[in-house]
Structure 1
Amino acid sequence: MDRRRFLGAAAAAATGAVALPGLAEARQGIDAALSGSDAGDLAYLDGAFERHRGGYRGRPPAVVLAEMRGDLDLLRDVLSRPHAAGTRADLARTAAGITGLVAIIQHDRSDQRDAHGWFATAEQAARESGDRQMLAWALARHAMVPLNYGAPRSAADLAMRARAEAGQAPSAAAALAAAVTARALASAGDHQGALRSVADARLIAERIDGSQAADTWFGYPLQKHHVHLSQAFTLMGRTREAYAEQEAALALTTSPSVMTRALLEMDAATCLHADGDPAAAADKAVGIWERLPQAYREGLVRSRAEALHQTLPGAAHTRLGEALAS
């Protein structure tokens, strides 16, 4: 049963009305003969984009991905139809957003190959739409795949392209690109470049508000800002600044945010090791891991924990390794 028929059947069940045979098909035929015949589907997809962009809201990544499955089928169907140029550009922008969200989820689930593929699709759609801010957002988000999975130079290249696309006006995409550039350069060992990008991110974050600072996957709220800078300073071994960013981020984290909290705590554990206390680092990381729901144990949190595990010596290395293997 397609979506229109399903909705029609649901409405009939709710009102007690019985649909006349062929009535829905007649309306669809009239729609097809009118300009803007896809208006209903386009409006639905735009709403789906707005709904999904709100993030996990305490739900595991696999659950959110499953909820998006039907919308992806509809998007594929609508994209295959002819459209006027303006409508096509709007649809391409929506497609860039929705496919970018799928890429984020696949990144968080550690499916690197699929994440790269979905981000490539999002970037193609963003270019077709002509929206440079959408393209900058897709590139900056894409940079987080190589950044979090061991290729910081590739991440820096993508992030710097994103920063160039975003331009000089303050925007969520520009702030994200600057923050991810800082993290990538820190991971690559270019601490001076990372500090310059930290300053860039801070300057932009101070100048954005409204929807640009909204707590969504497309906004750049202060909480997200502090999360990024926590990781940048952690990677540079600047633990005093990292602890301050972690404290600021946690103070602003009011939603369940299971993954965000775990990542910040892993940053804190890494800072303990950098400060010369590997046993305390292992204890903290093990505590985080043991409290983590099973649905979050494969993906970005595991990657962060394994990165710490590789650097720990002796008994601390063994302790965290045993926890990760359990």
Structure 2
Amino acid sequence: MNRRKFLGAAALATGVTALPGIAEAREGINAALTGSDAGDLAYLGGAFERHRGGYRGRPPAVVLGQMRDDLELLRSVLNRPHRAQARADLARTAAGISGLVAIIQHDRGDQRDAHGWFTTAEQAARESGDRRMLSWVLARHAMVPLNYGAPRAAACLAERARAEAGDAPSGAAALAAAVTARALASTGNQPGALKAVADARSIAEGLDRTESADTWFGYPLQKHHVHLSQAFTLLGRTRQAYAEQEAALALTSSPSVMVRALLAMDRATCVHADGDPAAAAELAIDVWEKLPMAYQGGLVRTRAESLHRALTGAAHERLGQALAR
């Protein structure tokens, strides 16, 4: 049997799997070539684009698990030498992917790990020299203290994000303004919060399709209304909050599980502010009990617990029992 026929037979026999030593051979050849990491660099850039699309109906823990192999590859590639431009591009990709992991950990309620990943993302963004990436990382980082009880720290991060974003309309700048509105509303600074709401609206109106894309890297209109719903809810401006909730829900026939839950918790909080604590508790309980187990933690639980603390009497007890089950 000649060599060509032998190799063909071997491929068929093994189901066209890699022959022994082939992967090692490629690694050895790559090590001897300049710029030989191009395939891995291109793959990682595509991985960032793929992962930043959001949950798409998948629980946070599932998405995090699907990113594990890419994180390991990223760690490996970062430890190799690269030319200056390739290193800058890789650092930008590292900032983006690290930021996505931080977002997921934020949503899962792991504040410490979220802060750690955002710090890593900020370091990578600074190394890349990409101010747009840096402003996005800072704006998303601001949501960790914002959603977990440190609004002043959130406002400081959001201010840094807006400074890095510059004057051009961007998704990061719009998000930073929205975070500022929510943070100032949390501290009772109504004039400052309303000014930040106006800023967020003005920036959002000027976004192009790329900056307003429905991804974790963009600032889509639905996300805009979700943020303003929370800002107006915190301000006690229930009429405006209800309007933002309706606007967010009207933008898609099938909002994500988390978006529906957060908007419903905002609505329940507004119902309480309007003087009906019993109805507020029942609305929150209904949402909570229908929520898949994978979502009964992190951000949604934090929002439910905030309402629970505000309630008194029988309403407080009813919601507390539901959250304890």
Once the two structures are TM-superposed, the CA of residue 152 in structure 1 deviates from its matched residue by: 0.6
Map residues 113-192 of structure 1 onto 2, 5 A cutoff.
113-192=112-191
Map residues 201-220 of structure 1 onto 2, 5 A cutoff.
201-220=200-219
Matched, 1:56 2:46: no
Q: TM-score, normalised by structure 1?
A: 0.93
1:195 and 1:128 mapped to 2: Cα distance? 35
2:126 and 2:42 mapped to 1: Cα distance? 21
Once the two structures are TM-superposed, the CA of residue 15 in structure 1 deviates from its matched residue by: 9.1
1:100 and 1:51 mapped to 2: Cα distance? 14
2:254 and 2:40 mapped to 1: Cα distance? 31
Once the two structures are TM-superposed, the CA of residue 319 in structure 1 deviates from its matched residue by: 0.7
Determine helix, strand or coil for the equivalent of 2:67: helix
2:45 and 2:254 mapped to 1: Cα distance? 25
Once the two structures are TM-superposed, the CA of residue 191 in structure 1 deviates from its matched residue by: 1.1
Structure 2 counterpart of 1:282: 281
1:239 and 1:44 mapped to 2: Cα distance? 47
Residue identity opposite 1:204 in structure 2: I
2:215 and 2:20 mapped to 1: Cα distance? 43
2:56 and 2:29 mapped to 1: Cα distance? 40
Structure 2 counterpart of 1:221: 220
1:250 and 1:154 mapped to 2: Cα distance? 30
1:20 and 1:292 mapped to 2: Cα distance? 48
Residue identity opposite 1:270 in structure 2: T
Alignment check: 8 A CA contact 1:58 1:255 kept: no
Structure 1 counterpart of 2:3: none
Map residues 232-243 of structure 1 onto 2, 5 A cutoff.
232-243=231-242
Structure 1 counterpart of 2:322: 323
Once the two structures are TM-superposed, the CA of residue 133 in structure 1 deviates from its matched residue by: 1.1
Query: Structure 1, residues 209-251: CA drift from partner, whole Å, max 9, x if none?
Result: 2111110000111001000000000010011110000000011
1:262 and 1:14 mapped to 2: Cα distance? 53
Determine helix, strand or coil for the equivalent of 2:270: helix
Structure 1 counterpart of 2:296: 297
Structure 2 counterpart of 1:312: 311
Identity of aligned residues (%): 79
Map residues 101-116 of structure 1 onto 2, 5 A cutoff.
101-116=100-115
Q: TM-score, normalised by structure 2?
A: 0.94
User: How has the CA–CA distance of structure 1 residues 165 and 14 changed in structure 2, closer, same or farther, with 3 Å as cutoff?
Assistant: farther
Residue identity opposite 1:191 in structure 2: Q
Structure 2 counterpart of 1:77: 76
2:78 and 2:279 mapped to 1: Cα distance? 53
Alignment check: 8 A CA contact 1:58 1:256 kept: no
1:249 and 1:14 mapped to 2: Cα distance? 56
Residues paired across the two proteins, number: 315
RMSD: 1.5
Residue identity opposite 2:246 in structure 1: E
Residue identity opposite 1:58 in structure 2: G
Once the two structures are TM-superposed, the CA of residue 188 in structure 1 deviates from its matched residue by: 1.2
Matched, 1:41 2:53: no
